[in-house]
Amino acid sequence: QVQLVESGGGLVQAGGSLRLSCVVSGRPFGDTPMAWFRQAPEKEREFVAGIRWTTGSTKYADSVKGRFTVSVDNFENALNLQMNSLKFEDTAVYFCAYTPYYLSTRANQYDSWGQGTQVTVSS
C-alpha cells in the first residue's frame, strides 16, 4: 500500500514562491509515475505536473509550464513541487498521487492519494 503525506502549503502573495513536498512510503521499486493534482472550490481536480521516478521524465499542465518544477528526492523518498511566480488562480488544495500504470493527466488513473495541502495566493 502506497502512502503519501504532503506538506509545504500556505499563504503567499502573488508573485511569490512555495515548495510542496510529498513523502512516499510503500512505493514499488522502479520507474514509478507520480503526479501533483490540484482542486479549487467547486472545480474538478486537475493535473498539475508529473514525473517518472527513475528516468526523470516530466509532464506539465500548460497553465504552470515555466513556473512550476516537479522533482524527486531519492534520499528523502519524496516528490517535490517548486512553485514560482504564483498567481491568484493557483489557489487550490494540492494533492500528490501514485499510479502503477503510466504518467497520465487523468485523476482516475491514480490509485493512491495524499490528504492534500492548501495553497492560497493573495492578489
Quick one: pLDDT at residue 116?
A: 97
Quick one: pLDDT at residue 93?
A: 98
Q: Nearest to residue 45, comparing CAs of 112, 4, 7, 93?
A: 93
Per-residue pLDDT tens, the chain, 123 aa: give them.
Answer: 899 999 999 999 999 999 999 999 998 888 899 999 999 999 999 999 999 999 999 999 999 999 999 999 999 999 999 999 999 999 999 999 999 999 999 999 999 999 999 999 998
Residue given cell 504552470 in the structure block = 64
| Distance in angstroms (rounded) separating the CA atoms of residues 62 and 76 | 28
Instruction: Using alpha carbons, list the distances in angstroms from residue 78 to 24, 36, 58.
Output: 6, 12, 15
Helix ranges (H only) for the chain are none
